[in-house]
Amino acid sequence: MQSGDLQTSPRTVLVLGGARSGKSRFAEASAIESGLARHYIATGRAFDDEMRTRIAKHKEDRAGDGWTTHEEPLDLIGSITAANAADRVLLVDCLTLWITNLMMESHDIDAAGDALADMLGSVKGRLILVSNEVGLGIVPENRMAREFRDHAGRLHQKIAAKADEVYFIAAGLPLKMKG
């Protein structure tokens, strides 16, 4: 796809799935297929060795493959705005880590989600947002986990309502839900 094709292609895509479902791989392949300059906006923070290993694996997967990486745990809107250009695809991985970071810093998550949803129409190129669907399991046993699940669910609804396409990934297989 060339940047002139953006008039007919989806500008905003939401990719949901569980842990190790293949959602990041699907999103990265979609970004590559776009033919646009690829920018990866990573929201993860390396608080422990396991997370450092996951982040290193994600970086290794993209190494030498034409990606420009931006690491932004909190100011996701600012990072999207700064990288926003008609000839680019921006891949955000992932919204649930962003929610975690906002919760850890006592931000107003609902307001941040509203602001993110509201700015989607200003994206000039293509935006692919990846997030973990965490609301399909049992009710979490503690308050913070329940709040996290609820924040994620509300954010997903806001983004899905404004996205051009929404996919749910399970076992590496995409199910197109919208668009």
- In the 8-state DSSP scheme, what is residue 16? E
Contact yes or no for 99/43 (Cβ under 8 A): no
Active site residues: 58
CB atoms within 10 A of CB 167: 23
CA atoms within a 13 Å half-sphere pointing along the CA-CB vector of 143: 0
Which residues make Cβ contacts (< 8 Å) with residue 123, sequence separation at least 6? 11, 12, 80, 84, 90
Rounded CA-CA distance 16/14 in Å is: 6
